[in-house]
Amino acid sequence: MDTVGTFEMARVLSKFSLFTAVHKHYTLEQWKEFAVNNPDCLQNIAASAGIGPKDLEKLAAILELLPDIRYICLDVANGYSEHFVEFVKDVRKRFPDHTIM
């Protein structure tokens, strides 16, 4: 599957108040650089994560660094699995005020 939710895509789409689920492969440093240079985009993006423990910690670090991000995208192949359901519960508990998709 292609990774299309890039920072560049977010920059362009946010000019039209459109939304981007930014892919989960960016580092925390890349997020920081993007946010410093594009603060107006943050209201129109979701931070994406997988469903492993390291993914949750990375997501937490991104959302702590960038509190203006209000959306979370959980990027999984098998959304019907029990592990995914439990992970969503953990994310909801940790981020009760964010929208999860």
- Out of 24-28, 65-69, 81-85, pick the least confident: 81-85
Q: What average pLDDT does the structure give for the chain? A: 95
Q: What is the pTM of this model?
A: 0.93
For residue 44, name the pLDDT band (cuts at 50, 70, 90). Answer: very high
For 12-41, write each residue's pLDDT tens digit: 999 999 999 999 999 999 999 999 999 999
Give bridge partners of residue 18 from the DSSP assignment.
none
Q: Does residue 101 contact residue 92 with C-beta atoms inside 8 Å?
A: no
DSSP, collapsed to helix, strand or coil, labels residue 5 as coil
Residues sharing a CB contact under 8 Å with residue 71, sequence separation 6 or more, in sequence order: 19, 21, 45, 46, 47, 98, 99, 100, 101
For 17, left (φ over 0), alpha (ψ -120 to 50), or beta?
A: left
CA separation (Å) from 18 to 11, 12, 45, 71, 78? 10, 9, 9, 13, 27
Q: What percent of the chain has pLDDT over 70?
A: 98
- Out of 12-16, 49-53, 59-63, pick the least confident: 49-53
Minimal CA–CA distance to 38: which of 13, 74, 5, 71? 13
pLDDT for 69 beyond 90: yes
